[in-house]
Structure 1
């Protein structure tokens, strides 16, 4: 079996998407190792980060900002509520929207967890020149903007969008040979 270094030698000109995925996965694992000491899963991290900046969002707004499906957000919020990090509420006269707010316990996590994320970022860029880090940031932001624009164009011109997991399952079943 090839180890990671052998694999990289075997595919020296790997696609950028794979390299970004590998770097993302490594950073997520590094952060998860640190978060677990505070009983926080990596899945909850994104929601906490958003709520620390924009407390009191609707569940739908939180889902959109986190880039997760409604069922994923619901499950995470339910788990975070049982841990005492958030609470759900409705406003008088609006029973449709569910608002997600941090508890004191959820707010207090920020002072412990943000330094861990900063530590992971420092480890990730160790040995890189500041100029290279700034170029990498610029490149990654431009890649994200290009792909976001492409997705918007596809949706507007061809009515194409990312299907939900349920829709994708149905599409795959239709494409299967009998």
Structure 2
């Protein structure tokens, strides 16, 4: 059994804590723009290539398709995106930016840049590079264990 110190000093605890705090701060900073935390990833995909299917978006941001479907429903209600049937395959739908969703690119990019800068403010450039490298290696290790 883990003692309290192991639970609060361990990697999993720390990663979860930082993740929750980043998500909460992203939510606070994005809400004035009418965007909820997590939706910026979907918008980012559509800014790169509009008209993706929910499955394509899910694959690009490494989440399950039903998660994207629920988020797209909320984003449609908020006027950020619209969903239309695929003209070549009636079984599929495609997600398209609305004018409002398209115009948020600069604001959302700025929020994301500022949040990242604030989160990494106490790290040197070398430490930032090292942190990203280490996180990438952890991700690779976890992905290799799934096979």
Per the alignment, residue 41 of structure 2 pairs with 46
Q: Secondary structure at the match of 2:96?
A: strand
Q: Distance in 1 between matches of 2:140 and 2:49?
A: 23
Per the alignment, residue 135 of structure 2 pairs with 140
- Structure 1 residue 84 and structure 2 residue 76: aligned? no
Q: Secondary structure at the match of 1:87?
A: strand
Q: Which moved more, 1:112-121 or 1:73-82?
A: 73-82
Q: How many equivalent residue pairs?
A: 143
- Structure 1 residue 37 and structure 2 residue 32: aligned? yes
How far off its partner does 1:116 sit? Answer: 0.7
Q: Secondary structure at the match of 1:127?
A: coil
Which has the bigger relative contact order, CA under 8 A and spacing at least 6? Answer: 2
Per the alignment, residue 55 of structure 1 pairs with 50
Unaligned runs of 5+ in 1: 1-9, 154-178
How far off its partner does 1:54 sit? Answer: 2.6
- Structure 1 residue 101 and structure 2 residue 130: aligned? no
Q: Distance in 1 between matches of 2:87 and 2:36?
A: 33
Q: Distance in 2 between matches of 1:119 and 1:105?
A: 22
The alignment yields a C-alpha RMSD, in angstroms, of 1.8
Stretches of 4+ moved more than 4 A in 1? none
Per the alignment, residue 116 of structure 1 pairs with 111
How far off its partner does 1:39 sit? Answer: 1.5
1:89/1:15 CA distance change after superposition, 3 Å? same
Which string of whole-angstrom CA distances, capped at 9 and with x for unpartnered residues, describes residues 71-90 of structure 1?
32222111111221111122
Per the alignment, residue 70 of structure 1 pairs with 65
Q: Distance in 1 between matches of 2:86 and 2:111?
A: 35
- Structure 1 residue 26 and structure 2 residue 24: aligned? no
Task: Calculate the TM-score normalised by the size of structure 2.
Answer: 0.87
Unaligned runs of 5+ in 2: none
Match of 1:11 among 5, 8, 31: 5
